[in-house]
Structures are given as structure tokens and as C-alpha cells.
Amino acid sequence: MKILVVNAGSSSLKYQLFDMETGEVLAKGLCERIGIDGKITHKRPGKEDYSKETELKDHKAAIELVLSLLTDPELGVVASADEIGAVGHRFAHGGEIRQSSILDDEKLAYLESIVEINPLHGPPAISGFKGCKAVMPDVVHVGVFDTSYYSSMEEKAFIYPLPYELYEKHKIRRYGFHGTSHRFVCAEACKLIGNKDAKIITCHLGNGSSITATVNGKAVDTSMGFTPNDGVPMGTRCGAIDPTVVPYIMKKEGLTPAEVEKLLNSKSGLLGVSGVSSDCRDIDAAAEAGNRRAALTNEILTHNIKKIIGSYVAEMNGVDALVFTAGIGENNKTLRQNVCRDMSYLGIKIDEEINMNGPRGEILEITAPGASVRTFVIPTNEEYMIALDTLALATK
């Protein structure tokens, strides 16, 4: 079966068409500036990329264009849209939906009901789904939710120590995000160590970062919370801070709730501390050139990642494998080295030579000889995970 995976953002729509018999990506691309003007970039393996600026008034127009390219006699990869057996949609937030699900009216109504706790990602994901459904009404549409991996967490891990009524009234709890990525790399790590019941810590470190603890294939804890702004400091998000700092900043700086939210989400993290950039590469270059705050930014990031890893080892009473993934986790060797340094007490020790010089873009084991914890770099593949879930539900 061929499966189309769609990831709709506020003004963008990413797509990948998989042939599930071979696992091959037949085509992928990106629609940008939806609702502003519009541009599509369409890629096929071994062929030249195609790019065109064209009006895209909404997500429906974007998916119509995607389908016309996928079936185009020259640029296409299928003879007709009928060859596409199902569509998988990425949802960053599924609230308390426990697993990937067929998107029927009831699920859609639930997703619409939780837009208030997911104002950034919810509306575009819903409008992306509605656009696809209108254009492809006869195939199964499946929702894959970043949050549902965390439905296995116990209450002690997801209830905040706030008045309990706030959970009951407003559903304020730890949800966790990036679950599809953590689920994918964790499953790969379990295969690599030949133990599906292992205790695994997965570090998804990118522009957004989260760390997850998994035992027996079930998430037991994660660093992101009610929103993706918790845990590790990120590109522009602060991650975990003393909550009382927030009203204090509002008072001192005379900020409204929307303004302080912007400060915490868009002006903090690596950008906020370094004053240089939200991108690790720029921060590394500045640190090398002697910028003290850039060097401090890297120290803060390393310190916080270490702290979370240590807390998860304590929580799980051990760890069998540690995994690094996403932009920083897969590419920033120095950060991996600094995070794993001085953790031999926990059994974590990496081979610095392999870590520094091993190949990129593929699975790499960086465990030092004799270390009891296996450490890996595993490229994430959320789209393939979405396609697998979609296939399972479409062929049930």
C-alpha cells in the first residue's frame, strides 16, 4: 500500500509518500507560505527537485497541488490518486487520546475541543486534515499524536503538584511531546540491544528538545510538560524554570500574559542566554571565537541534559541504553561528548574517537569498551513511524 504522510503547520504543509512494501519514500516535499502567497518544493529520489511559486490560499489548495504533482505524468510517482491507500496526519497534541486513531467525527470534535490548550499547532493540523479529507474523501485518514506515547505514564509522573481541581477543570497536566520520534528511536535501540523490555533514555535534541524514559516499550517520564516549553533549554524556549519567575517578570517588566509567553517561547533558551542565535552552530562558532555567553549557553545546555538523564536513571533504577537524536543529537558531537563525560558512575561512557569521527546520518554506536550502558546516535524518522501506524489501522 502507498501511504501519504502529512504534517500541516500554520503556513506550511510537509508531505511524504511511502511505498510500504519496500519502505521507500517515493516523493516528498513542502508547501510554504500558505495563505500568504505560496510555494511548493517537490523532491523525488534520484531526480531533480521541482520548485514553483504559486498561490496557495489554504491547506486544501496545498493538498490539491500536492496530489496534482504526485500524479503528474512528468513529475509524478503514481498514475492516479487512487493508488494512495491511506493518509497519516501528524498531530503535535492529541490531549488524552491514547493511541494513533482513525480520524472520525468524534475524534475531530475532541481535537477541536482541545484547541485552547494547543493554540499554535491545533488549528493548522485540523485545517490540514480537513483539506485532505475534502480532496481525498474515500480513503482512511489516521491521526498520529506526539502526545499519545505518554499515555502510559502513571499519574505520579503527569499530575503537577498544583490544586488538583486545575487538572479536573482545565486538564493542566504533563502531556509530553515528540513522542513519535522517541517511540521510533527507542524501538530501534531495543532492536539493536536485542531487548524489547529494556530501560532506555532517548534525547531528542533539536530546535525543540525533550528527553524521555522508557521501560518495556512504555514511556514512564518525559521532560516536556503541559506545553513543549519544559525540561531542557531549547533554541528559543527556556524549558524548566522556577514558575514564580513568570509573574515576577510580568510585574517588573510590565508585560501582559501574551508578552511574557512570547519572551519564554521565542526570546529565551539558547538565543536568550547567548544573545547570538538559537542555532547551535552559530553558538559554537561564537564560543570558539571567545564569546563567554555563548560558551556559557553550551554549559547550561549540557548541565540540564545531564541532570535529566541522571534523574531518569534514578527513576528507572538503571538504564540499558542512551540514545541521541534530532538536529543537535545527531550532529553535535561535542555536545554528546560533554553530556556523556563524567557519567561513568552510571555506567555511561562513550568512545570519544568514534563519537567524533563516526559517520553521520546513520545509526552509530558510540559506547566505550567496557561501559555497561550502550550509547547510540539514531537518526529519527517520525514520518515513517506515522506511515507504519497508518498502515496498521488502514489494513485492520
171 in helix, strand or coil? coil
Q: Which residue is nearest to ligand AMP (CB)?
A: 327
- By CB under 6 A, name the one of 327, 336, 374, 389 that touches ligand AMP: 327
| Least distance from ligand AMP to the Cβ atom of residue 360, Å | 7
| Least distance from ligand AMP to the Cβ atom of residue 223, Å | 15
| Least distance from ligand AMP to the Cβ atom of residue 159, Å | 29
Packing angle of the helix pair 257-266, 245-253 (nearest 10 deg): 120
- By CB under 6 A, name the one of 151, 229, 268, 332 that touches ligand AMP: 332
Distance CA 82, CA 123 (A): 28
Contact letters for ligand AMP, residues 192-231 (x by CB under 6 A): --------------xx------------------------
Scanning residues 266 to 325, which ones bind ligand AMP (CB under 6 A)?
279-281
| Least distance from ligand AMP to the Cβ atom of residue 307, Å | 20
Distance CA 129, CA 87 (A): 9
| Least distance from ligand AMP to the Cβ atom of residue 248, Å | 29
Burial of 70 (0-12, 13-18, 19+ CB in 10 A): buried
- By CB under 6 A, name the one of 153, 186, 213, 326 that touches ligand AMP: 326
- By CB under 6 A, name the one of 331, 367, 375, 390 that touches ligand AMP: 331
Distance CA 268, CA 120 (A): 18
Examine residue 328 and tell whether it contacts ligand AMP (CB under 6 A).
yes
The b-or-e profile of 371-395 (16+ CB within 10 A means b, else e) is bebbbbbbbbbbbbbbbbbbbebbe
| Least distance from ligand AMP to the Cβ atom of residue 376, Å | 17
Active-site residue flag, 351: no
Scanning residues 11 to 30, which ones bind ligand AMP (CB under 6 A)?
none
Q: Which residue among 146, 230, 284, 389 is the active-site one? A: 146
Distance CA 298, CA 146 (A): 27
Nearest to 142 by CA among 97, 78, 79, 82: 97
Distance CA 153, CA 85 (A): 33
Distance CA 106, CA 116 (A): 18
Q: Which of 130-138, 148-156, 289-297, 326-334 is the region at the interface with ligand AMP (rule: CB under 6 A)?
A: 326-334
Examine residue 7 and tell whether it contacts ligand AMP (CB under 6 A).
no
Cβ contact 154:294 at 8 Å: no
Q: Which is nearer to ligand AMP, 128 or 235 (CB)?
A: 235
Q: Which is nearer to ligand AMP, 124 or 228 (CB)?
A: 228
273 phi, psi to nearest 5 deg: -75, -45
Scanning residues 173 to 192, which ones bind ligand AMP (CB under 6 A)?
none
Cβ contact 118:112 at 8 Å: no
Examine residue 362 and tell whether it contacts ligand AMP (CB under 6 A).
no
Cβ contact 341:368 at 8 Å: no
Q: Please list the active-site residues.
A: 146
Interface with ligand AMP (CB under 6 A): 206-207, 235, 279-281, 326-328, 331-332
